[in-house]
Structure 1
Amino acid sequence: MNARRRHLRTAACLTLVGLLACLPLAAAFGSVDEDDMVLRLSAAERALPPDRLPDLDASCAALMDEDGTLWFGRNGDDAAQIASLTKIMTAIVAADWLDASTMIEVTPEAASVGESSAGLAQGDSMTFDDALKALLTASGNDAASAIAQAAGARMLAQKGSGGDAYACEAAFVEAMNAKAAELGLENSFFANPHGLDFDAFAQGQYSCAADVATMLRAAMQIDLVRANIGFSQADITVQRDGAPVTLALENTDALLGSYPGACAAKTGYTLAAGPCAATAVNRGDGHEYYAVVLGSSSKPQRFVDSAALYDWAYANRSSLRAPISDEDIAGLAWGECVAFTVAWFMEGW
């Protein structure tokens, strides 16, 4: 009896294979981007139909969770400009050297960086806590350089040397690249603390969506950074000409306060990078997600893309499984391929 069942099972499998061979592949798999990766397998390998994938405009994207699992990637390892998302790494490195109450002074060099500014003036001083808000909420290039120079001065002093503002900033940038190696970032190189990538600042810096997701995950594990990367607006106090001055800061992010669970956001834009964003969502269910989109077609679209990644994650987390070995990759790809194809066939039947 068991032998007969085995023969029947074999015959059924062969019949199924024959039916699958007769089906048009385009109809079975739909229009999927073979470069989109879902838990180490391409969308095509998983035979995911278009409605099971996030609808994205961005040229590069990544979605990571709290334990470092990369759930989704679109050209996730491709080198790209990341503009002010660089400031996430600036915050990470600075937090190794500065306390919340450390006073940061704005040098002439920091005040004159240009482009995105927190409104800091030469001679201003503020706590590192407030400087982080100027860095992460207002995306101030002035704040980035001021922080880098303050931390870099400590780095040089520890080595028994010193230097001007440029030397201090150079020491800090060296530490940024050392931290990148420590975090396992394989496709990143930093040349400044703010992310400008043109004219005098075009020095070959680059990163990728997957690396930025790893950076954001690391930043969210630092209490001081986590506490300062989730403001849609904030006020800081600087000492200016011997008197306290309040500066009102605004974040260009559109998810904070509007998308459920949004708890962190850093935006960026240059002509070379295009609109980009790195955000985090935590709905108190034990999971935290980090979405990165690079090269969106417009500034509003980067938030549409980010929301699409989160919507996809919450809709599909329970139905997708990550492979744990190369053999598992092959088996999982074939198993999901058959499952989706059979489901499609039965629905059509």
Structure 2
Amino acid sequence: MSVRPVFSASRLIALCAALAVSQAALAAETSAAKRPPAAAKTAKASAKAPAKSTRSVVRKPAALPAVPTFGQLYGLHAADDPLALKSSVALVVDQESDEVLFSKNPQAVLPIASITKLMTALVVVEADLPLDEKLTIGREDIDTEKNTRSRLQPGTVLTREEMLHLALMSSENRAANALGRHYPGGLQAFVEAMNAKATALGMLDTHYVEPTGLSSSNQSSAQDLARLVQAASEVPLLRDFSTSRQARVALGKRLVQFHSTNGLIGSPLWDIGLQKTGFINEAGKCLVMQARVAGRKLIMVLLDSSGKASRIADAERVRKWLSTQVLQQPAGNS
């Protein structure tokens, strides 16, 4: 099933507004359920009054619904697939033959979160900027969109190479933003270069507004992201940095350990050549990989997965399915 949702801005705003009203109403109902009538006026008196032999029982209210992803708003999770994936968008392509082995809503255009950093890294490397140049984290690199935290405090000085490593391996937002800021012409020129590279790769459904992925306006489709993974996997530095399990970085006088955001890195069941994870509320859990399965080089894209570890579980389902039912006999000379 291939679905490319087209929502007007007014329609999306209306959906979000309706959700906000619903959540506010449920919150008000929950608050009322927790307190007896006129509790604000009688709280002190109740504290001094003698205990009674009976008391009312208040049922625990239902949890507030989670903020929906764009995929949920578009109804993409209603699409059936034979693996019952939690991801609403999935695509598996043979890297050498371009054969599509699995497809679910591959044309849907959704927020891609930190998958953005693959393009950030690709633009930086192709600009042939000195990797040993020292860059400084500034206050401009602090996330004011999602208020995420970072161990890279303003004033931290790292080389461009170290910034690239942390952006790809640990999905460091401040490192990614600093890479964009230190591009010739500044952040605006960098974003223009990102979009120009996307166009050059044939990523016609892709648009970037910043280099971290924190903005839900950074959007793409699975088909486009497969092209990005293909291009990035041809750069040895990006392959090495994205598949590192951990790295120690000197932050001032301290050596600080950073780790990969992908739990599949290092697994004996996987041979991963390049990867990137991503998450913001609007995008859900995302994962792209170039990996060898049953002797064939594949590109996997999983977007808008629901659940804490669901993207990893989906990747495992795909791997097992491919290994046991699809790829018993490798294609060509791969």
Question: What range describes the TM-score normalised by the shorter chain of this pair?
Answer: 0.5 to 0.7
For 1:59, the equivalent position in structure 2 comes to: 88
Tell me the distance in 1 between the aligned counterparts of 2:291 and 2:261: 17
Letter in 2 for 1:221: E
Residue 207 of structure 1 aligns with which residue? Answer: 220
Work out which of the residue numbers 143, 167, 185 in structure 1 matches 2:175. Answer: 143
Structure 1 pair 320–264 and aligned structure 2 pair: CA distance change class (3 A)? closer
| Unaligned ranges ≥5, structure 2 | 4-80
Residue of structure 1 equivalent to 2:113: 83
- Superposed counterparts of 1:190-339, under 5 Å: 190-197=208-215, 204-238=217-251, 240=252, 244-258=253-267, 259-282=269-292, 285=295, 287-315=296-324, 316-317=326-327
**Alignment check: 8 A CA contact 1:292 1:306 kept:** no
Residue 126 (structure 2) aligns with: 96
Following superposition, the deviation at residue 35 of structure 1 comes to: 4.4
> 2:221 is aligned with what amino acid?
C
What amino acid maps onto 1:124 in structure 2? T
* C-alpha deviation, 1:192, in angstroms: 0.7
Residue 154 of structure 2 aligns to a residue in which SS? coil
Output the CA distance in 1 between the equivalents of 2:121 and 2:173.
Answer: 13
Aligned to 1:126: 158
Residue identity opposite 1:139 in structure 2: S
Equivalent AA in structure 2 for residue 279 of structure 1: M
Secondary structure in 2 aligned to 1:191? coil
How far apart, in 2, do the equivalents of 1:266 and 1:304 lie?
A: 16
Cα distance in 2 for residues equivalent to 1:122 and 1:78 = 37
> 1:92 and 1:236 mapped to 2: Cα distance?
22
Higher helix share: 1
Report the Cα distance in structure 1 between the residues aligned to 2:148 and 2:94, rounded to whole angstroms.
30
Deviations 1:93-130 (CA, angstroms, capped at 9, x unpaired): 11112243232221220145564455112121212221
Deviation at 1:143, TM superposition (A): 0.7
Code of the residue aligned with 1:78 in structure 2: it is A
Asked if structure 1 preserves the Cα contact closer than 8 Å seen for 2:2 and 2:105, the reply is: yes
SS at match of 2:212: coil
Cα deviation, residue 71, structure 1:
2.9
Aligned CA distance change for structure 1 residues 186 and 310 (closer, same or farther; 3 Å):
farther
Match of 2:194 among 151, 170, 176: 176
- Give yes or no for contact 1:105–1:150 (8 Å, CA) kept in 2: no
Shift of 1:312: 3.0
Unpaired runs of 5+ in structure 1? 1-33, 37-51, 157-167, 323-349
Deviation at 1:190, TM superposition (A): 0.5
Matched residue of 2:241: which SS? coil
The residue identity in structure 2 corresponding to 1:267 is T
The CA distance in 2 between the partners of 1:300 and 1:145, in whole Å, is 27
1:275/1:296 contact within 8 Å kept: yes
In 1: Cα distance, 2:256 partner to 2:161 partner: 14
* Secondary structure class of the residue paired with 1:313: helix
The superposition leaves residues 263-321 of structure 1 with CA deviations (integer Å, 9 ceiling, x where unpaired) of 43321111111111112323694x32221111111131101111222333334136698
Distance in structure 2 (CA, Å) of the matches to 1:105 and 1:63: 39
Amino acid aligned to 1:133? H
Moved more, 257-266 or 124-133: 257-266
Deviations 1:68-93 (A, max 9, x none): 71432211111111111111111111
Amino acid of the structure 1 residue aligned with 2:248 = D
Identity of aligned residues (%): 28
Q: Letter of the 2:140 partner, please give it.
A: E
Does structure 1 conserve the Cα–Cα contact (< 8 Å) formed by 2:294 and 2:327? Answer: no
What is the TM-score of this pair, normalised by structure 2?
0.68
1:172-221 CA-to-partner distances (Å, cap 9, x unmatched) read 01100000001111211001101112xxxx5x331112212221221111
Structure 1 residues 270 and 255: CA distance shift in structure 2, 3 A:
same
Q: Distance in 2 between matches of 1:68 and 1:209?
A: 17
Q: Which amino acid aligns with 1:71?
A: L
* Distance verdict in 2 for CA 1:171–1:296, change over 3 Å: same
* C-alpha deviation, 1:66, in angstroms: 2.6
Kindly tell me: are residues 183 and 318 of structure 1, through their superposed partners in 2, closer, same or farther at Cα, counting changes over 3 Å?
A: farther
